[in-house]
Structure 1
Amino acid sequence: MEGEYSSVCEMTNHNKHSSSSYSSQSNSELSMHMHPENERNYARLLQYNNCYDAMPTSSKMVIFDSKLQLRKAFNGLIYQNTRHVLLSDPDNDGAITGILSVTDFIRVMLRLHKKRKEAEKNEDSTDVPMEEGETAAEAINDVSTFLSNGDIGRLTIQEYREMIKAEGKLMDLISINADESLLKAARLLTKFRIHRLPVLDPLHGTPLFILTHKRILKFMWLFGQSLSIPDYHNKSCKELGVGTWTGIRVIFPDTLLVDCLDILLHKGVSGLPVVERNTYKVVDMYSRFDAIGVALENKLDQLDVTVEQALAFRNTFRQEKDRVVAVRDTDSLWTALNVLVERNVHRLCALRPNGAIEGLISLSDVINYMVVRPGADLSSSSSTHRRLNHHSSVSEECEPHSVLSRLEESAMQLEQRATGQLNKQLAAFSMN
């Protein structure tokens, strides 16, 4: 079962990315100096840069036809070692209609597990829940077939999504045009509580790449190095309220995997700290992506194992260094930012001196605090707030002629300096 605790002593506790991007960064940097309230600097940075500017130099984007069988789709998901794929509708000129993710993989596994258990329990009962004309034995065999290596699901992706839609669990596709601001993208991720945002070509509607909290944070890290640093950077995440510090959901090594997956699917969390039952020391982390390990080890019919056992057949693509990434509960937000970027992870455990969990800090927590919250009253319209570059005039918010003159005189020098710094940084951080 899961654990949840709280209080003062609480434990719950290929595409282009050319010099225009560098120019955009340095000029956006300049615009920051025209706004003394430095707490809004990161929001301003994203306001004056559009999604094109966060496009990776190269990336993998997988698109599946929605008429593809579900089992083949999940096999492809596993083979591609990806958390998600985009879905296209062949009946609508190949338009992107949705996303199939590891969350769907977990949902299907739990459904099949439940059906198999019900069929086994009622094998000799006339009350067994089954489809019209289906016997109990057929139901068991049907589920066994579903769970076999050769057939995880006979429905097409489209049929599966129609079923989920009928249950009110299908979310409409949320996307953004590449010429819209990164600030708007951050707001969409927060508003709809989503982890990935397809970026579309504004002219043709074709997908260019997927924007995530991780990419936005790395963009801020790379292009915001010379901004005036807000005072809150030196305060601890707990003091600032960045992260979850009460009511943290945790699991134990002896928690059943099926219960763990159920929490991940229904409780709005993407990762669960695995803690010792008596000390609450963090020993591991189980995320949605770890569910792929179930398939890699051909254990689709073994969801009644413990989390500890499931971790033994963890996703082979996951490296040891990613098991538990943590900071101290007294560490500053700046320290947390460094760790998030350098370790390329989605969340951090904030630990007490004895290793017990005190808090959980996610990428979305950081983006919300640094961008969405302070930039709540800023316009996110790219047509109103154009990016500052050598081929456009200063936006209406940058009216003073003296400021414009000063910017033009120093732009070249700053761009050269920024480009040199960023080349080194880009070599160190792959924006995956």
Structure 2
Amino acid sequence: MKKSKHLLHPGFRMTSKKLPPLSPNPYKTYHGQTDSFRPSILEEPDGFARLLLFNSCYESMPTSSKMVVFDTELVLWKAFNGFIYQNTRHVLLANSSKEGAISGILSVTDFIRVMLRFNRERESREAASGVQEEVKTIQTDSIGKMSIRDYRELVQTEGNFMDLVSINADQSLLEAARLLCHHRIHRLPVLDPDNSSPLFILTHKRILKFMWCFGQQFCPSEWRKKTAKELGVGTWVGIRVVFYDTRLSDCLDILLNKGVSGLPVVDSKTLEVQDIYTRFDAVGIALLQANCIDVTVKEALAYKRNIDLQTERVVSVKETDTFWHIVSVLVESSVHRVCVVNEQNAIEGVISLSDVINFMAVKPGKALKPTKFTQHTQSAAGDLSDQAITARLQQSEKEREEEAAHKRNPTS
């Protein structure tokens, strides 16, 4: 197992050569401050899409990031234990036979697939023998003893294998958003275009925060007046929920096969949202001798509160809240989804990060052509001292202020 930590430039960086300056200080836009954009630019429906188009993935690189890499020869149950110890939802996979090239991602989705497979095999053996088997852990089962490489080959024979989807750091953020949306994935490895080494993982959450920090001026006025339901954002029909007495195996089956990453746990009578069970919450439930997935959701929720995992809390909004308010809640709460409730706190809808980014940027920017940036500064930025980076940011801010002043008064 290898860890790599990239200490890079602070916060987001902004490319302003092909786009008018967002504000004298782009960091001030986080709290809704506006600048001197022309009204015609502000009202363009594809404003957020263009913002992402004219900024490469480099611009969203975090100040620091932890990346966990497992060799594909690692035994599967040890890899899943690593999820707990590293408190992560995914790890990158490196193929030692190909000089450590990144070949895929192992995520909590794989963990759930293994648990369900083990549970089905156990139930089949019990039905055949008529004797209930003693609860086993993943490592005692044959699939747990597989290497990651053998497991991926098994998944491929079953038709569930997915090739690695990645993006080069010099490609646009809009292309990254398109890949996340098209492949229905939640994380996208960003690779160095020179040597294909991984730099960081790009997610819906980080793209939305980028748009929030630097693009609030693009928000159409109707987004501040209409609700998400009026704009057609989110899921409002056929919402998938579970109850406290739902079997965990059934809950995990929905998470794996129905295209959702989190299930609201609601009261069976009032439909009031009580909790939420996500894919990540399943990590660890079957790794101890005393636990398996043949429990209820209530028991599983009690178990997850007793282990040291950063689980997602329930965040709800009112059905009368405007779409832009919901966007602000998603950003400031740093969650993957919000539950929309009525006056009785009964669930009415679910809005995820992917729903929001698809509506704000992917659909409006459908006709925009992909952009690839020929120059990047990652290597240089990585070698700079903190003082040098600060000086560059101050110089960049000064240039933006001068350009903004010139646009306000071209004759001066």
TM-score (norm 1): 0.78
Moved over 6 A (4+): none
1:413/1:295 CA distance change after superposition, 3 Å: farther
Q: Does 1:45 align with 2:36?
A: no
How far has the Cα of 1:172 moved from its partner?
Answer: 0.8
The answer to whether the 8 Å contact 2:273/2:345 transfers is yes
Q: Distance in 2 between matches of 1:329 and 1:145?
A: 43
The correspondence of residues 23-422 of structure 1 with structure 2, limited to 5 A, is: 23-24=14-15, 28-30=19-21, 33=38, 35=41, 37-123=43-129, 144=136, 146=138, 153-225=144-216, 227-234=217-224, 235-295=226-286, 299-300=290-291, 302-314=292-304, 316-318=307-309, 322-383=312-373, 411-413=400-402
Deviations 1:336-394 (A, max 9, x none): 1111111110000000010100000000000000000111111122259x99xxxxxxx
Q: Distance in 1 between matches of 2:222 and 2:201?
A: 30
* Structure 1, 36-45 or 352-361: larger mean CA deviation: 36-45
TM-score (norm 2): 0.81
1:289/1:414 CA distance change after superposition, 3 Å: farther
- Which residue number corresponds to residue 381 of structure 2? none
How far has the Cα of 1:224 moved from its partner?
Answer: 1.9
1:15/1:81 CA distance change after superposition, 3 Å: same
The answer to whether the 8 Å contact 1:83/1:101 transfers is yes
- Which residue number corresponds to residue 404 of structure 1? none
1:88/1:410 CA distance change after superposition, 3 Å: closer
1:205/1:303 CA distance change after superposition, 3 Å: same
How far has the Cα of 1:18 moved from its partner?
Answer: 5.2
The answer to whether the 8 Å contact 2:56/2:373 transfers is no
Q: Which runs of 5+ in 1 are unaligned?
A: 1-13, 126-136, 388-407, 417-432
Identity of aligned residues (%): 54
How far has the Cα of 1:40 moved from its partner?
Answer: 1.3
How far has the Cα of 1:319 moved from its partner?
Answer: 6.0
1:41/1:15 CA distance change after superposition, 3 Å: farther
The answer to whether the 8 Å contact 2:177/2:362 transfers is yes
1:62/1:415 CA distance change after superposition, 3 Å: farther
Deviations 1:300-321 (A, max 9, x none): 4x3221101110001534568x
How far has the Cα of 1:412 moved from its partner?
Answer: 3.4
Q: Distance in 2 between matches of 1:341 and 1:199?
A: 22
Look up the SS of the partner of 1:120 in the other structure. Answer: helix
Q: Distance in 2 between matches of 1:283 and 1:124?
A: 38
Q: Distance in 2 between matches of 1:179 and 1:147?
A: 41
The answer to whether the 8 Å contact 1:29/1:224 transfers is no
How far has the Cα of 1:293 moved from its partner?
Answer: 4.5
1:283/1:57 CA distance change after superposition, 3 Å: same
The answer to whether the 8 Å contact 1:218/1:341 transfers is yes
